[in-house]
Amino acid sequence: MKQISLLLLSTTLALGITELSAQDTPRTPVVRKGTKTQGKATKQTPQPSTDQLSERAKTFGTTDRDPYEHASWLRSIYRSIDLSRRANAPLYSPQVATESEGNLFAQIFQLYATGKLSVYEYIDGTEQLDEAHRLSFKDFLGRFHIDYTEGRPSYIPSSDVKSYYLKEVHLFDEGTSTYTTEVTALCPILSGIGDYGELRMPLFWVKYSDLQPYLRTQLIALSAQNGVRRSTLDDFFRLGLYKGEIIKADDLLGRTLVEEYPTPEAQKEAQKQIERELSDFRTQLYLPDSIRQSETPTIKKKKAKLKKLGSSSAQSQRLPSKATKPTSSSSSRSVRDRGQD
């Protein structure tokens, strides 16, 4: 009996010691320590800048759906963006770059110099944005004789880039019933003085999709009437606030308007015609078929009437005023005198 009692007593004591040790052991020290460590790490995390973007910032606003694969209608046009126009002033200001800010070309130049942006050489005809036409920064400086010192933003010839070529794509996605206008590529044009006057030298092409994440980091004013900086250059392009004349439209022959139309008047008329076609397509895109069908005869009648007026006015100019007796008088007289016969 004594041995049994001692055995039970020892077992009870062992269980009690085990339970006490389990209760004394803290249950959440790792969670509390981890929370403090995580808080410190959060404070020390640097904020993203123009020169260093996170992968999330680079892919912000992108989707897995490729609108070009689902487009049922697409048209590409090229514009000449003159920075001397008031509407395009946000792309040119400030003219001289500093360490804290710069205009569009200054941003492109700095990203290009640090290897964060790829550019492609300018060639006549359709742009080739592939690895075979990629232009290194060293070759670029030598080709255009640009004297640049690393770390000196004021050496960037940002004030000499006074215009751009811009490629604009209009497309309709039938799957989502959306009409969008996108900027797909930019080409800065360097202005200089040569032996025979001013020179305009296209420098290179840059994909807008590669440049877009960096354009979202610097706030600008969108107009001269309001100096509050609440928008970005990406907003400026996506909202279509730039102004420029059409110099080329997608064509099976790949010709510019200058090559296709010999006179400035004909080129102006062709530009207006392309703008009207884009506007008409977008306007009639969401109209019911009944409205479109009812408007079609009216439009045809107006065209026929205008054509008739034009032909009649041309005939009246050719006819002499007194030599020929008008033929309409006999028919009108017969109508008036019909009741007297």
Domain spans of the chain, in order of start: 66-284
Alpha-carbon dihedral 309, 311, 313, 318, rounded to 10 degrees: -170
For residue range 32-45, list pLDDT tens digits in order: 444 444 444 444 43
pLDDT tens per residue, range 171-214: 998 888 889 999 999 999 999 887 777 889 999 999 999 999 99
Between 2 and 242, where is the model more confident?
242
pLDDT confidence tier of residue 26, bands split at 50, 70 and 90: very low
Residue 161's nearest CA partner among 188, 199, 123 is 188
**Phi, psi for 339 (deg, rounded to 5):** -80, -15
How confident is the model over 275-280, as a mean pLDDT? 93
User: What's the confidence (pLDDT) of residue 253?
Assistant: 72
Closest alpha carbon to 133 in 204, 233, 209, 215: 204
What's the pTM?
0.67
pLDDT at 339 over 50: no
Cα separations in angstroms, 64 against 61, 69, 84, 194, 197: 10, 11, 38, 48, 49
Tell me the CA distances in angstroms from 117 to 50, 70, 173, one per residue in order: 12, 28, 30
Least confident of 64-73, 100-109, 156-165, 240-249: 64-73
Check pLDDT > 60 for residue 312.
no
In the prediction, which pLDDT does 110 show? 95
Report the pLDDT value the prediction gives residue 23, as an integer from 0 to 100.
Answer: 47
Which residues have a Cβ under 8 Å from the Cβ of 84 and sit 6 or more positions away? 162
Q: Is a pLDDT exceeding 80 seen at residue 30? A: no
Q: CA Rg, the chain, in Å?
A: 36
Please tell me the predicted confidence (pLDDT) of residue 284. Answer: 85
Query: What stretch of H or E contains 333?
Result: helix 328-336
